[in-house]
Structures are given as C-alpha cells and as structure tokens.
C-alpha cells in the first residue's frame, strides 16, 4: 500500500516513501529558498546520500533544511568517473538524491547523463519536480507558450552559434535560451543579426529580490545593454518566426560539397568541424564528405 504523507497538513496518497536502489532527481530553488518543496525536503533528509553539482551550495541547502545526509560531488568534469560510483552504490541498494546548482537536474546541467546511465543499468529513477528557469521565464514572457523550443546555452564557437541560429531562424515556436551575464551582449547581437528584429522578453533574477522581466524587441534589448551592464542570471524568450524558410535561403544552395565545407571554414570553423556540419546539413556521412573534400583537394 502507498504511504500517505503529510506536508504542512496536506495529506495525499502519493509515492512519498524513499526507496533503496533508486535515483531521485530533486528540483531545488532557482534563487528563492522558499521554493523548496515539502517532498524535496523529505527526500533530501531520507536518502542514503546526495550527489551534488556544487557541494558548497548544496551543503548550505542541506543545512537550511536540517538534513545531515552525506554528499558526493557530481559535476561536468567528473561525471564519467563519479557517475560509475553513484550507479554502483545505487545497484548495491542505496538511495541517492541528485541535485544540481539550481532548478531541475538535467536541464542544461549534467543531470541527464546520470539518468541515461541509470536507464542503461536498469536502476529506477524518479523525480521530485521543482522550479525550472526556462518554464518560469516562458510563462512570464507574455509570448506564446503553447509551443516552444528550449535551446539552452548557445554554442560559444561563433560558427557553431551561427549554425544553431540558422537552424531555428524559421522555427515558428517560441525560443528559450539561457545565458550568462558576461555573454549577454554578444548573444543579443547574434540573435538580432541571425533572426532579425523580434519580440524578446529578458527574464532576469527570477524568483529573487531583483526579479525583472523586460518585454521588448531585440533592437531595444541590444540598445539597452549597450548602455548598462548585464547583471545576474538571464533567460531570453524570443518570439518564433513569422514565416517559413524560403528554399533559396540556405546559404549553401548551389554550392558543391567541398565549397560548402569551405564556407564553414571561412566562417571560422576548423576543417573537421566544417566537415561535420556539412554532413549534418546534407544528411551525408562525415566519411563521405571527407572523401569528396580529399578528391577535390587532389584535383
């Protein structure tokens, strides 16, 4: 029989019992401690151990909620080795809560790799849903929320960023991007250049004291941050395209495969990147593109 739990007097026959051998993805606040859920507190107090992206951050959270559970670090640069350790402990019957710096594990952070590893090993995974900056920004943006595309962080390599933006240029859905303050100006300019002037809602410091939603267009957003320094955390919500992609709009239309590769190289890509992106554009294998380039080099 399912356990009946009570959180602040609300009883519900939900699956609130912490089970051994299970990974719990626990959503944590994106800036406002009061957003921690009753169920998140319960799981963070009862699991055998907590896997944390930043043990200092999570240490403060655990202290605030009165959890004494031991922590293990799990982040981008140790996720391979630590993932194995965590999966091994789960397979041996321990329960683990995975928390990242903020929000839902797996959204633009290493959580998704841990879920994949557990799925491969047959380890049960469940979630304790919590805040997610992308969804919070979308609903506050005043832009259409019915259909959207979450794009996360744009690539930092210029040619890859240009390719990504070209891919979404004619997407009719609302687009959601994450960005760090020190890259905001460059990203706004890249968005303006690639997508034209469109409505944008810049959602800053969500759930925090200085929360701000700037609903405007890309021209004004670029202007605004030419004058003031970006501060805090941002989600950019951008209106979808108003028209379909014209057939002749592909920059490589009419080029041979080697010229297509050269086009990427002249935009700053390495030869390997250019071959990979050309193969993706044309739906060919990298090997085939490589051979065509070699053949044309030998002419």
Name the minimum Å distance from CB 88 to ligand SAM: 25
Closest CA to 187 of 151, 161, 210: 161
Name the minimum Å distance from CB 26 to ligand SAM: 11
Closest CA to 125 of 86, 67, 85: 86
Looking at the Cβ atoms of 12 and 210, the one nearer to ligand SAM is 210
Name the minimum Å distance from CB 31 to ligand SAM: 4
* Nearest position to ligand SAM, beta carbon: 103
Query: Where does this chain bind ligand SAM (CB under 6 A)?
Result: 30-31, 100, 102-104, 107-109, 132-134, 178-180, 203-208, 233-235
Tell me how far apart the alpha carbons of residues 232 and 221 are, in angstroms, rounded to a whole number.
16
Tell me how far apart the alpha carbons of residues 111 and 102 are, in angstroms, rounded to a whole number.
11
Looking at the Cβ atoms of 92 and 139, the one nearer to ligand SAM is 139
Looking at the Cβ atoms of 85 and 180, the one nearer to ligand SAM is 180
Looking at the Cβ atoms of 206 and 279, the one nearer to ligand SAM is 206
DSSP string across 259-279: HHHHHHHHTT--HHHHHHHHH
First-residue to last-residue Cα distance in the chain? 74
Name the minimum Å distance from CB 225 to ligand SAM: 15
The structure tokens 């710096």 sit at 101
Contacts of 88 (CB under 8 A, 6+ apart): none
Looking at the Cβ atoms of 82 and 89, the one nearer to ligand SAM is 82
Looking at the Cβ atoms of 163 and 204, the one nearer to ligand SAM is 204
> Where does residue 253 fall: left (phi above 0), alpha (psi -120 to 50 degrees), or beta otherwise?
beta
Name the minimum Å distance from CB 171 to ligand SAM: 20
Name the minimum Å distance from CB 134 to ligand SAM: 6
- What CA–CA distances, in Å, run from 102 to 42, 105, 138? 18, 8, 17
């Amino acid at each position: 029989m399912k356990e009946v739990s009570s959180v602040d007097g609300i009883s519900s026959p939900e699956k609130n019992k912490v089970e051994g051998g299970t990974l719990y993805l626990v959503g944590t606040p994106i800036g406002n401690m009061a957003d921690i859920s009753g169920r998140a507190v319960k799981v963070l107090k009862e699991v055998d151990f907590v896997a944390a992206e930043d043990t200092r951050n999570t240490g403060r959270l655990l202290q605030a909620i009165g959890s004494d559970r031991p922590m293990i670090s799990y982040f981008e640069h140790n996720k391979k080795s630590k993932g194995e350790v965590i999966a091994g402990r789960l397979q041996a019957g321990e329960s683990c809560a995975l928390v990242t710096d903020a929000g839902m594990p797996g959204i633009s952070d290493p959580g998704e790799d841990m879920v994949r590893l557990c799925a491969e090993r047959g380890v049960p995974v469940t979630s304790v849903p919590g805040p997610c900056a992308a969804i919070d920004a979308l609903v506050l943006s005043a832009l259409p929320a019915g259909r959207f595309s979450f794009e996360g962080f744009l690539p930092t390599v210029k040619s890859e960023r240009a390719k990504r933006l070209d891919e979404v240029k004619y997407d009719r859905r609302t687009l959601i991007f994450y960005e760090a303050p020190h890259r905001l100006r460059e990203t706004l300019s890249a968005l303006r250049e690639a997508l034209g002037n469109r409505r944008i809602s810049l959602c800053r410091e969500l759930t925090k004291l200085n929360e701000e939603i700037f609903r405007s267009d890309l021209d004004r957003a670029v202007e605004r941050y030419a004058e003031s320094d970006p501060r805090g955390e941002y989600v950019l919500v951008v209106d979808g395209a108003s028209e379909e992609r014209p057939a002749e709009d592909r920059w490589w239309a009419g080029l041979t495969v080697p010229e297509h590769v050269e086009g990427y190289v002249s935009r700053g890509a390495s030869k390997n990147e250019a071959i990979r992106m050309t193969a993706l554009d044309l739906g060919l294998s990298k090997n085939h593109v490589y051979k065509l380039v070699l053949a044309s080099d030998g002419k």
